[in-house]
């Protein structure tokens, strides 16, 4: 068993720098806020630049299939920056969930298209699906798909749907065009509109089956997504902390910067410790997954049970310590709280992950 590496390599830092510069330029807070307005900003050009120009769509894809041949560590860096910008891009839904599922199922042609950024896909499972808890209400009946899936992330902007369905051989993996006849995609109002959800309905939809190990492919996709989500939560929390720290240094009351008051110092010190812990567990989860370490499931449960709650706490404190301006629509703090609350329910709740962690380490019930 190799030793965990918490440090970022030069290559990873270069990737971070490129992604951050692009998101800073193309994804300012005002543009992100527009997703809650009647005529939201079009972020498809941003995804094209990320996917094709920077190659992030193919980070998890082998080079022989047109990808970068990288791994979870590099993908985690991208997730940190997406969390930092609350970017409305389908990296998690297409470049992680759908791509990993197709890779594990043995697909090559569609994976190559996704890696090149020519098309996007969404894995048709509820976003709240926890690792090890994959189920579906879609059936394969006479060779066509019938059923419904609720709260699917990425379906609204996807070109393809990767659909787990119960068939004669158990859980199978099927691929259909999102606009195919018989498919109804209904947008679902959600707290976080930067990662919109949709309900899917399939009425006798012809599809193409991919591979023979659908259950394993979907389970691995959810597992990878849960590992990397912790890095997004850390990136989000880091933005909240750094922004709040900068604000309390320059905001004055009674002739003093509010950051000079002891009560504020204590709160920020606690937040700093929480942020450091979140960085460690998120990085550990990504590193163990990248190495195929036997502790991956423990690292996943630890990261998700901790980072999901810390992200929400950081966003709440960001709004509180900004005072009145933190409550305004124009200030971006609300974007981070909404994403943090949504992430808290994604791939299972913190309570579920803590219970799973207790089982993994044989911690007896109190």
Max Cα–Cα distance, the chain, nearest Å:
76
Q: Whole-angstrom Cα distance, residue 294 to residue 29?
A: 40
41 confidence band (pLDDT: 50, 70, 90):
confident
pLDDT of residue 366: 65
Same domain, 210 and 224: no
Same domain, 306 and 196: no
CB 228 within 8 A of CB 75: yes
Structure confidence by residue, pLDDT tens digits, 129-147: 999 888 899 999 988 999 9
Q: Does residue 248 belong to any structural domain of this protein?
A: yes
Residue that has been written with the tokens 């259950």 in this structure: 215
If you write DSSP's letter for every residue of 232-264 in order, what string do you get? HHHHHHHHHHHHHHHHHHH-EETTEEGGGSHHH
Number of domains in the chain: 3
Residues 6+ apart with CB under 8 A from 179: none
Structure confidence by residue, pLDDT tens digits, 222-239: 999 999 999 999 999 999
pLDDT of residue 1: 53
What sign has the CA pseudo-torsion 311, 313, 314, 318? positive
Structure confidence by residue, pLDDT tens digits, 74-110: 999 999 999 999 999 999 999 999 999 999 999 999 9
Q: Does residue 264 belong to any structural domain of this protein?
A: yes
Residue-number span of the structural domain to which 193 is assigned: 139-214
CATH number at residue 65: 1.10.540.10
Q: Does residue 129 belong to any structural domain of this protein?
A: no
Q: Whole-angstrom Cα distance, residue 64 to residue 103?
A: 12
Exposure letters 183-196 (e unless 16+ CB within 10 A, then b): bebeeeebebbbbb
Q: Whole-angstrom Cα distance, residue 167 to residue 145?
A: 9
Most confident of 39-43, 84-88, 247-251: 84-88
Cα-Cα end-to-end distance for the chain: 32
Q: Does residue 172 belong to any structural domain of this protein?
A: yes
Structure confidence by residue, pLDDT tens digits, 144-180: 999 999 999 999 999 999 999 999 889 999 999 999 9
Q: Whole-angstrom Cα distance, residue 176 to residue 337?
A: 34
Measure Cα distances from 361 to 130, 208, 302, 310 in Å: 19, 41, 11, 22
Q: Where are the alpha helices (DSSP H) in the chain?
A: 10-26, 29-33, 44-48, 72-85, 99-105, 109-115, 214-250, 262-291, 296-322, 333-345, 350-360
Same domain, 205 and 223: no
Same domain, 190 and 233: no
Instruction: Over range 279-283, report the average pLDDT.
Output: 97
Q: Show which of 169, 188, 214 is a domain's final residue.
A: 214
- The model's pTM: 0.95
Instruction: Over range 344-355, report the average pLDDT.
Output: 94
Same domain, 176 and 67: no
pLDDT of residue 4: 85
pLDDT of residue 64: 95
Same domain, 349 and 274: yes
Same domain, 203 and 224: no
According to DSSP, the β-strands at 160-167 and 121-123 are parallel
258 confidence band (pLDDT: 50, 70, 90):
confident
CATH number at residue 183: 2.40.110.10
Q: Show which of 214, 229, 250 is a domain's final residue.
A: 214
Q: Does residue 25 belong to any structural domain of this protein?
A: yes
SS3 202: strand
What percentage of residues in the chain have a pLDDT greater than 70? 99
Residues 6+ apart with CB under 8 A from 9: 73
Same domain, 319 and 334: yes
CATH number at residue 234: 1.20.140.10
């Amino acid at each position: 068993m190799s030793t965990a590496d918490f440090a970022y390599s030069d290559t990873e830092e270069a990737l971070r720098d490129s992604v951050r510069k692009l998101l800073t330029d193309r994804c300012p807070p005002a543009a992100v806020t527009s997703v809650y307005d009647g005529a939201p900003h079009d972020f498809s050009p941003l995804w094209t630049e990320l996917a094709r120009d920077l190659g992030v769509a193919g980070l998890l894809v082998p080079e022989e299939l047109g990808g970068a041949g990288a791994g979870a560590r590099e993908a985690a860096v991208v997730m940190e920056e997406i969390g930092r910008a609350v970017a409305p891009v389908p990296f998690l839904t297409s470049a992680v969930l759908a791509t990993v599922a197709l890779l594990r199922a043995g697909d090559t042609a569609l994976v190559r298209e996704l890696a090149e950024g020519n098309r996007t896909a969404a894995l048709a499972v509820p976003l709240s699906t926890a690792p090890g808890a994959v189920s579906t209400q879609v059936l394969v009946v006479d060779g066509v798909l019938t059923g419904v899936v609720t709260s699917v992330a990425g379906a609204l902007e996807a070109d393809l749907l990767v659909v787990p369905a119960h068939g004669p051989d158990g859980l199978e993996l099927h691929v259909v065009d999102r606009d195919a006849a018989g498919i109804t995609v209904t947008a679902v109002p959600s707290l976080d509109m930067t990662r919109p959800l949709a309900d899917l309905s399939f009425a006798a939809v012809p599809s193409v089956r991919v591979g023979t190990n659908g259950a394993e492919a979907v389970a691995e996709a959810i597992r990878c997504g849960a590992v990397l989500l912790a890095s997004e939560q850390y990136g989000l929390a880091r933005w909240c902390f750094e922004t709040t720290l900068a604000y309390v240094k320059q905001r004055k009351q009674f002739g003093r910067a509010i950051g000079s008051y002891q009560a504020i110092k204590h709160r920020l010190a606690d937040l700093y410790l929480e942020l450091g812990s979140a960085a460690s567990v998120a990085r550990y989860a990504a590193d163990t997954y990248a190495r195929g370490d036997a502790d991956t499931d423990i690292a996943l449960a630890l990261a998700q049970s901790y980072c999901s709650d810390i992200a929400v706490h950081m966003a709440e404190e960001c709004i509180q310590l900004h005072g009145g301006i933190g409550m305004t629509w124009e200030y971006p703090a609300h974007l981070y709280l909404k994403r943090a609350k949504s992430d808290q329910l994604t791939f299972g709740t913190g309570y579920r992950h803590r219970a799973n962690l207790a089982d993994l380490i044989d911690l007896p019930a109190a």
